[in-house]
Chain A
Amino acid sequence: MTTNLIDIQNSDVIMATSNFAENHPVGFQWVMKAKERGAKFIHVDPRFTRTSAVADVHVPLRSGTNIAFFGGLISYAIQNNLYFKDYVVHYTNASFLIDPAFKTATDGGGLFTGLESTGKGGVDPHVAETYKKESWKYQLDGEGNPKRDLTLRDPSSVFQLMKRHYSRYTPEMVERVCGIPKQKFVQVAKLFCENSGREKTGSITYALNLTQHTNGVQNIRALCMLQILLGNIGRPGGGVVALRGHANVQGATDLELLYHELPGYLPMPLRDAHPDLKTWLEKETPKGGFWVNRPKFMVSLLKAWYGDKATAENEYGYQWLPKRASADAYSHQHMFVDMYKGVIKGFLSDGQNPAVGGPNAKLARAALGKLEWLVVKDIFVTETAEFWKAPGVSPKDVKTEVFFLPAAPAAEKDGSLTNTMRLIQWHERAVKPPGDVTSDAEFFVSLAKRLQKMYAGSKKDRDQGFLAASFQYGDDPKEPNMELVLKEINGYATQEITDKDGKVVYKPGQALNTFAHMTDDGKTAGGCWIYTGVTVEGPDGKLINKSNLRKPADDKDYLAHGWGFAWPANRRILYNRASADLQGKPWSEKKKLIWWDPAAPGQEPDKKGKWVGLDVPDFNAFLAPDAKNGDKPFIMRADLVGAFFGPLPDGPFPEHYEPVESPTKNLLSKQQMNPVAKIWVVPDQRNDLAPVASPDYPYVVTTYRLTEHHLSGVMSRYLPMLAELFHSHFAEISNELAAELGIKNGERITIATPRGKIHTTAMVTSRLKPFMIDGKKTHQIGIPWHWGYNGISKGDITNDLSASVGDPTVYIQETKAFLCSVKKGEV
């Protein structure tokens, strides 16, 4: 998230789009605190939940129509002049002029300029397409700088294009598409927009409710656009509050257990685009913004991995990194489709349970059966570890060898976890794990060392990188010292580093204090630049692990900078330069965060002026507001401003399309679904899709989570306390749908999609109500997905229903909105 849970208390209005109270209960107390201080609280969710119960307004919307809703809010703010004009003019690209050849989806029948067929064909002609982005660019002046119109009146300006693009998103349209009555939409739009601006700020929270769609990334972009339009980023009480679901989903993303990147958000090399380090650096280093430092971060990473064997002569070992054959490959969904096709022979499932937790789970389990071998490391024996015992499977037919290694929970090991606020916090081993249970680190290091023994003496080039990588951390041959691993992530000097006067700044091996000290010449090593500063050397030469510091908040420091370490640079609110105006003064006294103090001691003894305040400036602290780029808050972007116009594979502005499986034709344009969504072609009819407004699969279904259970259930269904609290699988259906189908509360029902079916118990409830979509009654049901065939509390696997379809930018699946049938009884 751009902000901090604690800071939500400063919001004047909060819009939760996920079920915040039930899925992040302890974080939700800051919403309640804000309410005590007078804030308004809006909950946007198809279901009435415990979050809705304390909201000033609950806004049910049909699943899969988020962009129609956010687009409606953007349009409302523009049409009613409720946006924060000074912020928009100076801190965003609203004033930038776009190539005149570019046309918005308002003028293109739901499509932007440049869509063309890839010629690949496929299951659906609509998805075999791609955008040529030739016109999706700024107009440049003679010096190569973007042309701007600070009056925002030029028809080619981003602002006017955005206004035109969202002109179709009227309250009437929102009512037809989302099923939100017009009056209610206007009430919410007023409430949110009027509580943002110079004196007031609003925050928006989201979770998987926005991401698990075939336009997931555009959902988030739409939210962000609304926030910069209203001046709600980088300021107290503002922000985009991403509520992550796993204890370390932030850390695992930063350290990049993801196919497309290396630790610290460095693109994983592509075969065709990045043949050597020089080309990689040229292509991946923008001309402006903070990423101009990317070469320092990349070379430091290569030094951290390949050590002394990484030299300038061998491109610091760049060629040892694998090169991706394509950008459209290797993601979670690609993985299981390719596994099913026999491409993958061996598989490590470490602390993840794809037999239950991933999309099209039936396909995932079938794919596991095509493997030669499977290694599962987990705290309990998961459904993935025992897929060969699943209902309906005959073990003798499953030829996959399976290795199960028992894993230690956090309480039994040292290490750090990064929470949803980017806060890195250390935990200590309280007890040794029992029996043959080990930490994951112990397993990775044992495996690496065994393999290095097997490869020892190899003269092949391809083995030299692996042999150069050290897996020895501390003296214990088996258990790595985790603080030393954290130090490698943090970064250290590989040799003595002196300043221009010859004074020693770093001794060899000394931890770096800041990523600003990283270099691209091999003098520094560091595994993940954004974490630099988490371990520093104290005056006594000992390592200080800042993730293990616990100084509570106080009146002078409500953001608690002495508690753990938040990346980057212990900054608690990102883009905080935007909390001050062009001259460096807070937009309002009430909403001050950092400001320019012209009297403060400067960087040099004879200079004055510094950014000071309640947070670490997201900025060079000595860069005066009137200096070049001293008024540009969005430092991670090459153009240093917030982007309304932001080219993604599916468009520079978010546009509403229906989910791949939808109960209605698209009421906004003739383009039914995201024209560049990913639909996997899977053999054996394992990814059949329901047609638009299918009579066989007439109901919208959304999947979700419960307070008492955790994701695929491994850490909850096996615990007596939690299994007892919520002991069985169920589906929520409305009173109206139950009446139509003759289903009573507590009866068994069958839910089916073209991919699979499940049996479960009906929970007939008034928490869900049918939507009126373009005058037609449309039913939606909801199903939690925590259950499987193992553990104390067992149930059918909800994800057997979902499809292998994905967002074109990140390939996440569409499990928040698809179609199903509901039948009484187990059929």
Chain B
Amino acid sequence: MSLSRRDFLKYAGSTGAGVAVGSATLDLKPVQAAATTLKIKEATVHPGVCPYCAVGCIQLIYSKGDKIIDIEGHPDTPHTLGRLCPKGAATIQLSNNPLRPTKAMYRAAGSDKWEEKPLDWMYDQIAKRYYDAREKYFIEREKNKDGQEVLVNRLDAIASLGSACIDNEECYLLSKLNRALGIVYHEHQARV
């Protein structure tokens, strides 16, 4: 009996340490032979969603310690049947990538370089910018089309853009935060 890639992944993934299940009708020799050399041996597997287009291919993300060692398509996914495109297959390099910045950075007005800064310093400074802009430019009331002063509680001086790349829960938190502060320039990639 031949073994499809889908079956192969299922068996390999089901034990983590290769193949321990037997079957009277299935010849597991080819799987066993491959599994002994698999880099995912003894790795932990997590469900992922491909972060590129909106087909939403479910991935199996294998990690050892703090390092992702492999990302594959999840063979059971009904709308993808486990496939990934070139971008989806490259997802691992979003994490394991020497170009990736891991420090927060600040660039002062007129400067030609970045300075690394502690995260707390960054958050304090950003919060101060938000606070100052809101205090200075907040529009509590303005005239409506009939010339009457009405409550608008609006902040035009801060704009927020993005993102279709972040999670639902993050989008919701950003909506809640922006609107609670009075922000109306509030957009993301769906508009373009």
Complex contact A410–B167 (CB within 8 A): yes
Per the bound structure, the CA–CA distance linking A552 and B126 in Å amounts to 45
Task: Please indicate the chain B residues that have their CB under 8 angstroms from the CB of A325 in the complex.
Answer: 142, 152, 154
Task: Please indicate the chain B residues that have their CB under 8 angstroms from the CB of A401 in the complex.
Answer: 106-109, 129
Complex contact B161–A335 (CB within 8 A): yes
Quick one: which of A373, A402, A527 contacts B172, CB cutoff 8 A? Answer: A527
Task: Please indicate the chain B residues that have their CB under 8 angstroms from the CB of A792 in the complex.
Answer: 99
Complex contact B162–A350 (CB within 8 A): yes
Binds B, one of A151-159, A416-424, A613-621, A744-752: A416-424
Complex contact A451–B167 (CB within 8 A): no
Whether, in the assembled complex, A271 has its beta carbon less than 8 Å from a beta carbon of chain B, the answer is yes
Quick one: which of A257, A343, A707 contacts B186, CB cutoff 8 A? Answer: A257
Whether, in the assembled complex, A447 has its beta carbon less than 8 Å from a beta carbon of chain B, the answer is yes
Binds B, one of A34-42, A435-443, A510-518, A631-639: A435-443
Complex contact B55–A447 (CB within 8 A): no
Complex contact B168–A416 (CB within 8 A): yes
Q: B40-70 interface mask toward A, CB cutoff 8 Å, 1 = contact, 0 = none?
A: 0000101111111111111001110111100
Greatest chain B CB density within 10 A among A322, A329, A438, A719 is at A322
Complex contact B153–A410 (CB within 8 A): no
Complex contact B174–A350 (CB within 8 A): yes
Interface size on A, residues (CB 8 A): 164
Quick one: which of A254, A324, A411, A552 contacts B68, CB cutoff 8 A? Answer: A411
Whether, in the assembled complex, A432 has its beta carbon less than 8 Å from a beta carbon of chain B, the answer is yes
Quick one: which of A255, A332, A480 contacts B191, CB cutoff 8 A? Answer: A332
Q: B79-118 interface mask toward A, CB cutoff 8 Å, 1 = contact, 0 = none?
A: 1110111111111011101011111111111111010001
Quick one: which of B93, B108, B167 contacts A720, CB cutoff 8 A? Answer: B93
Complex contact B95–A436 (CB within 8 A): no
Quick one: which of A259, A462, A466 contacts B187, CB cutoff 8 A? Answer: A259
CB distance from A217 to the nearest CB of B (A): 12
Complex contact A722–B86 (CB within 8 A): yes
Quick one: which of B84, B122, B171 contacts A255, CB cutoff 8 A? Answer: B171
Within 8 A of B (CB), among A284-340: 305, 319-325, 329-332, 334-335, 338-339
Per the bound structure, the CA–CA distance linking A322 and B138 in Å amounts to 10
Greatest chain B CB density within 10 A among A419, A430, A437 is at A430
Whether, in the assembled complex, B163 has its beta carbon less than 8 Å from a beta carbon of chain A, the answer is yes
Quick one: which of B77, B155, B180, B192 contacts A358, CB cutoff 8 A? Answer: B192
Complex contact A252–B101 (CB within 8 A): no
Size range of the interface on B? Answer: 35 or more
Whether, in the assembled complex, A396 has its beta carbon less than 8 Å from a beta carbon of chain B, the answer is yes
Quick one: which of B44, B123, B133, B191 contacts A331, CB cutoff 8 A? Answer: B191
Complex contact B47–A426 (CB within 8 A): yes
Quick one: which of B79, B119, B152, B164 contacts A248, CB cutoff 8 A? Answer: B164
Whether, in the assembled complex, B158 has its beta carbon less than 8 Å from a beta carbon of chain A, the answer is yes
Per the bound structure, the CA–CA distance linking A754 and B189 in Å amounts to 25
Task: Please indicate the chain A residues that have their CB under 8 angstroms from the CB of B179 in the complex.
Answer: 262, 305, 321-322
Q: A332-360 interface mask toward B, CB cutoff 8 Å, 1 = contact, 0 = none?
A: 10110011000111111111101001110
Per the bound structure, the CA–CA distance linking A438 and B50 in Å amounts to 19
Whether, in the assembled complex, A811 has its beta carbon less than 8 Å from a beta carbon of chain B, the answer is yes
Complex contact B55–A429 (CB within 8 A): no
Q: Which chain A residue shows the least CB distance to B148? A: A275
Binds B, one of A22-30, A73-81, A652-660, A766-774: A22-30
Q: Which chain B residue shows the least CB distance to A717? A: B99
Complex contact A350–B160 (CB within 8 A): yes
Binds B, one of A92-100, A187-195, A482-490: A482-490
Complex contact A441–B130 (CB within 8 A): no
Complex contact B152–A323 (CB within 8 A): yes
Per the bound structure, the CA–CA distance linking A416 and B85 in Å amounts to 21
Complex contact A396–B110 (CB within 8 A): yes
Quick one: which of B57, B127, B170 contacts A415, CB cutoff 8 A? Answer: B170
Complex contact A719–B49 (CB within 8 A): no
Whether, in the assembled complex, B151 has its beta carbon less than 8 Å from a beta carbon of chain A, the answer is yes
Per the bound structure, the CA–CA distance linking A401 and B158 in Å amounts to 14
Per the bound structure, the CA–CA distance linking A447 and B186 in Å amounts to 17
Complex contact B169–A257 (CB within 8 A): no
Per the bound structure, the CA–CA distance linking A409 and B177 in Å amounts to 21
CB distance from B181 to the nearest CB of A (A): 6
Q: Which chain B residue shows the least CB distance to A338? A: B185
Complex contact A247–B187 (CB within 8 A): no
Do A412 and B95 form a contact, CB below 8 Å, given A247-B164, A323-B151?
yes
Complex contact A471–B173 (CB within 8 A): yes
Whether, in the assembled complex, B140 has its beta carbon less than 8 Å from a beta carbon of chain A, the answer is yes
12 residue pairs from A and B, CB less than 8 Å apart: A247-B49, A257-B164, A331-B191, A379-B100, A404-B107, A434-B66, A436-B102, A485-B169, A559-B78, A719-B90, A722-B86, A722-B87
